[in-house]
């Protein structure tokens, strides 16, 4: 599979628990993005990496959220002390440096439900 | 930051008719405008894009137009088919934001038989 892979596809957690999602980008893509999508809305930018460096974070990304891309390959997004408002689809995307959106491929997302 | 508005939020057309979705953006530095199609429960998929040095781009039944002066761009789908039914998102980005996309709120297109 040469697409962007996300795991898990679905996650149900109790409020206050921590959750971690994983994204495996297309292998030759050095940029990796995290977006959040709530029902009826477009994806909202959270953060992005170029190789292993996290270069930009949205103000939507509170201190309960942390993202890593330790070796410039896969990335993880962790949410600590989850709240009901964190329920959303978390989308990962990847692209090539300099492509300005060309080859911007989304994964199928992880749907988080906080109960 | 960039703000993208999209209209209408829902659109119902008969098979064979045309559909038009419109977006406006706020940041004059934005220079890349993609359109994504998202079917229920699936990932957004790029269907067409346009850069600010071009006024119109066409790919079979799909076309996008851009008016930089007015800061708006539109998606045109001709000869609509039932499989065109989905949610469509416009987006905008500028080179200064490293391809970060700002999305509109989406248009649910329903093509009826």
Grade residue A56 by pLDDT with cuts at 50, 70 and 90: confident
The answer to whether the beta carbons of residues A99 and B51 sit under 8 Å apart is no
Residue A31 scores a pLDDT above 60 = yes
Low-confidence winner among A76-80, A107-111, B42-46 (lowest mean pLDDT):
B42-46
pLDDT of residue A102: 58
Cis peptide before B12 (omega within 30 of 0): no
Question: Is B14 an interface residue toward A (CB < 8 Å)?
Answer: no
In the prediction, which pLDDT does A101 show? 54
Q: How far apart are CA B33 and CA B47, in angstroms?
A: 11
Identify the band that residue A98 occupies on the pLDDT scale cut at 50, 70 and 90: low
B53 in contact with A, Cβ within 8 Å: no
- The HSE-up count of residue A22 (CA atoms within 13 Å, CB side) is 7
pLDDT in tens, B43-54: 999 999 998 888
Chain B partners of A55 at a C-beta cutoff of 8 Å?
98
Q: What is the mean pLDDT of residues A51-76?
A: 91
A40, two tokens? 């009826």
Q: How confident is the model at residue A104 (pLDDT cuts 50, 70, 90)?
A: confident
Q: What are phi and psi of B96, to 5 degrees?
A: -70, -15
Nearest CA distance, A81 vs chain B (angstrom): 27
Q: Which of B81, B48, B83 is nearest to B65 (CA)?
A: B48
- pLDDT of B52: 82
**Measured between alpha carbons, how far is B9 from A40 in angstroms, rounded to an integer?**
9
Q: What is the rounded average pLDDT of the residues A27-36?
A: 91
Between B41 and A13, the more confident residue is: A13
Indicate whether B95 pLDDT > 70. no
Quote the pLDDT of residue A109.
96
Q: Which residue of A43, A48, A106 is in closest CB contact with B98?
A: A48
Tokens of A64: 């309960």
Which residues does chain B have within 8 Å of residue A48's beta carbon, measured at their own beta carbons?
A: 98-100
pLDDT band at A72 (very low <50, low <70, confident <90, very high): confident
Strand ranges (DSSP E) for chain A? Answer: 5-7, 10-13, 19-24, 31-37, 44-50, 53-57, 65-68, 75-79, 88-95, 105-106, 110-114
Residues in a beta bridge with A65 = A79
Question: Per the CB < 8 Å rule, is A101 touching B43?
Answer: no
pLDDT (mean) for A89-98: 87
Task: Report the chain B residue with the minimal C-alpha distance to residue A39.
Answer: B105
B104/A contact by beta carbon, under 8 A: yes
Task: Say whether the peptide bond before residue A8 is cis (omega within 30 degrees of 0).
Answer: yes
Q: Which helix (H) or strand (E) holds B57?
A: strand B56-59
Q: Which member of A43, A44, A101 has the closest CB to residue B32? A: A101
Nearest to B55 by CA among B35, B69, B40: B69
- Contact with chain A for residue B29, Cβ under 8 A: no
Q: According to the model, what pLDDT value does residue A65 have?
A: 96
pLDDT of residue B24: 98
Chain A contact present for B103, CB below 8 A: yes
Is B38 in a helix, a strand, or coil?
strand
Residue B97 has pLDDT above 50, yes or no: no
B105 touches chain A (CB under 8 A): yes
Residue A113: pLDDT band with limits 50, 70, 90: very high
Q: Distance between CA atoms of B94 and A7, rounded to whole angstroms?
A: 30
Please check whether residue B108 is in contact with residue B87, taking contact to mean a CB–CB distance below 8 angstroms. yes
d(CA B88, CA B48): 11
């Amino acid at each position: 599979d040469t697409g962007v892979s996300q795991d898990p596809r679905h996650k149900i957690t109790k409020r206050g628990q921590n959750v971690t999602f994983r994204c495996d980008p297309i292998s030759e893509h050095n940029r990796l993005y995290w977006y959040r999508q709530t029902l009826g809305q477009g994806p909202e930018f959270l953060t992005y990496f170029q190789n292993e460096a996290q270069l930009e974070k949205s103000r939507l990304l509170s201190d309960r959220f942390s993202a890593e891309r330790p070796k410039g390959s896969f990335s993880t997004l962790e949410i600590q002390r989850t709240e009901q408002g964190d329920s959303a689809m978390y989308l990962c995307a990847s692209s090539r440096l300099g492509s300005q959106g060309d080859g911007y491929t989304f994964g199928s997302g992880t749907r988080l439900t906080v109960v | 930051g960039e703000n993208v508005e999209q209209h209408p939020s829902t659109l119902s057309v008969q098979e064979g008719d045309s559909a038009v979705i419109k977006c406006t953006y706020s940041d004059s530095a934005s220079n890349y405008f993609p359109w994504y199609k998202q079917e229920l429960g699936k990932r957004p998929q790029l269907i067409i894009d346009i850069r600010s040095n071009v006024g119109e781009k066409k790919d079979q039944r799909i076309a996008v137009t851009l008016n930089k002066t007015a800061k708006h761009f539109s998606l045109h789908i001709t000869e609509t088919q039932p499989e065109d039914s989905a949610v469509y998102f416009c987006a905008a980005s500028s080179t200064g934001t490293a391809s970060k996309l700002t999305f509109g709120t989406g248009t649910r297109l329903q093509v009826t038989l």
